Amino acid sequence: MTSTIKYNTIKIDNQNIFYRESGDKKNPTLILLHGFPSSSHQYRHLLADNKLTEKFHLIAPDYIGYGQSSMPSTKEFEYTFDNLSVVTEKLINALSIEKYSLYVFDYGAPIGYRLALRNPEKIQSFIVQNGNAYDEGIDNAFWANVKKYWAEPTKKENIDFVLGLITAQTTQWQYLNGVQEKDKSLVAPDGYVSDQYYLDRPGNGEIQAQLLFDYGTNPAKYPAFQQYFRQYQPPMLIVWGKNDEIFPAEGAYPYKKDIKNLDFHLFETGHFTLETHHQEISHLINQFLTKNIINNHGKSSN
Q: Express each pLDDT in 25-61 by its tens digit.
A: 999 999 999 999 999 999 999 999 999 999 999 999 9
> Identity (one letter) of the amino acid at 165?
L
DSSP 49: B
Q: According to the model, what pLDDT value does residue 296 have?
A: 80
Q: According to the model, what pLDDT value does residue 2 have?
A: 77
pLDDT class of 300 with cuts at 50, 70, 90 = very low
Q: How far apart are CA 148 and CA 132, in angstroms?
A: 19
- Number of Cβ within 10 Å of residue 121's Cβ equals 7
Q: Is 5 helix (H, G, I), strand (E, B) or coil?
A: coil
Q: How far apart are CA 252 and CA 149, in angstroms?
A: 25
Angle at 218 between CA 214 and CA 223, to 5 degrees: 160
Please report how the helices 204-214 and 189-199 are oriented relative to each other, as an axis angle in degrees rounded to 10.
Answer: 100
Q: How far apart are CA 102 and CA 289, in angstroms?
A: 11
pLDDT class of 101 with cuts at 50, 70, 90 = very high
Q: Is 99 helix (H, G, I), strand (E, B) or coil?
A: coil
Phi and psi dihedrals of 295, rounded to 5?
-70, -35
Instruction: Show the DSSP H helices in the chain as ranges.
Output: 44-47, 50-53, 81-94, 108-118, 141-151, 156-165, 168-176, 189-199, 204-214, 218-232, 255-258, 273-289, 295-297
Lowest-confidence segment of 14-18, 162-166, 298-302 by average pLDDT: 298-302
**What is the average per-residue pLDDT within 271-294?**
97
pLDDT class of 297 with cuts at 50, 70, 90 = low
Cβ atoms of 275 and 191 within 8 Å: the answer is yes
Threshold 0.85, pTM exceeds: yes
| Residues taking part in catalysis | 271
1 CB contacts (<8 Å, ≥6 apart)?
Answer: 50
Per-domain residue ranges of the chain: 6-297
pLDDT class of 3 with cuts at 50, 70, 90 = confident
R_g (Cα) of the chain, nearest Å: 18
CATH number of 6-297: 3.40.50.1820
